[in-house]
Amino acid sequence: MEMQLNAVHASFPEVPVAAHELTHPICWPARPAPAIHRFTFWGRGTALLGTILGNRILTILTFGLYYFWGRAKVRRYLWEQVELDGDLVAFHGTGGELLLGWLKIRGVLLPLTIVYLLMRVTKERDAALVVSLLIVLIMAVLRPFALSGGRRYLLSRTSWRSIRFSYRGSTLRFAALYYGGILLCLLTLGFYIPFFLSSTYSYLTRHSYYGSLRLGYDGKGRDLLGAYAKAFFLGFVTLGVSWFFFAAERIRYCIGHTTVGSLRLASTMSGGKLFRLTVWNILLWIVTLGFATPWIVVRSLRYQLENTVLHGDLAAALLEVQQQKRRAGAMADELADIADMDLGLGF
């Protein structure tokens, strides 16, 4: 029997085995972890204060004319303190553009303003009140135009690595979306608000570009409905503190569902930290009689930016970007300023 087995074994040729297969374990190539790119804000309250004080002195000396160049200078300072992947953001707007936009807005509101002043002089208080309410109503109606047009101007004047941003949405379509959303919010006693916030953010984001790279948004308003309802019902018990947690969750959700080509944004903002930041900012403003405003602005921007990250292969994404400049005027941006609307950095 043993001889037969040996004969069968001998009938099969020996297959040579590579030496490295015997001495080295099998290693599968590991998938590279997705790159994380963080924003940094280098601004300082003292530097911003110096800029603001200098602007106010020059504004007084020029009888208010320098105000627009001062606004452009403050924006330029704030934009250029934002760093991503070793490069700073830049702002290219000018005071002349802001002045021209302001003149256009004042041209629209000038007749009502003159009527209001005449009513005040003649002590027609009831008529003056009606005219002032009409001006407020007009400003409210023009709000979506300020949001859309202001974003168009700010993005067109913002660049990173010499590539300009742009906004290409239709102001009329956004206004229709905005007015329709406000109506639905009223009809649903406010419970359409999460859908309204998501839809307006979606339109503004999906029509924004970095060069030829389009931004995207894949969030849904219904995903925020639970958090909104929770904040609504707990708002009475928590004296409104629950709304800070909803605000943080909404920001995390919206930013987390925002893409820039193949890249995706994310936010680590928390309701507790947002609440503490807001309380401290209010206390600082009250105690210093507004003198601490530059530090409040810097603290707020730093918290927002340093809690935002960008995931993905940034170098590969930038290879596809081409410069695409768009023209945009500052009229809507000045309308937002007159209405005291904060458009932030325009992103």
Distance of alpha carbon 4 from alpha carbon 12, whole angstroms: 13
Joined together, the tokens standing for residue 182 give 């406000």
Please write the tens of the pLDDT for every residue from 29-69.
545 545 899 999 999 999 999 999 999 999 999 998 999 99
Per residue in 254-280, pLDDT tens? 999 999 999 999 999 999 999 999 999
Measured at the CA of 257, the angle between CA 253 and CA 259, to 5 degrees, comes to: 145
pTM above 0.85, yes or no: no
DSSP for 239-286, please give it.
TTTHHHHHHHHHHHHHHHTEEETTEEEEE---HHHHHHHHHHHHHHHH
In this model, does residue 296 exceed pLDDT 90? yes
Q: How far is CA 178 from CA 186, 224, 308, in A?
A: 13, 18, 27
Q: Give residues with Cβ within 8 angstroms of 345, minimum separation 6.
A: 78, 79, 82, 89, 154, 158, 301
Q: What is the pLDDT of residue 138?
A: 81
> Residue 346's closest CA among 212, 205, 245, 236?
205
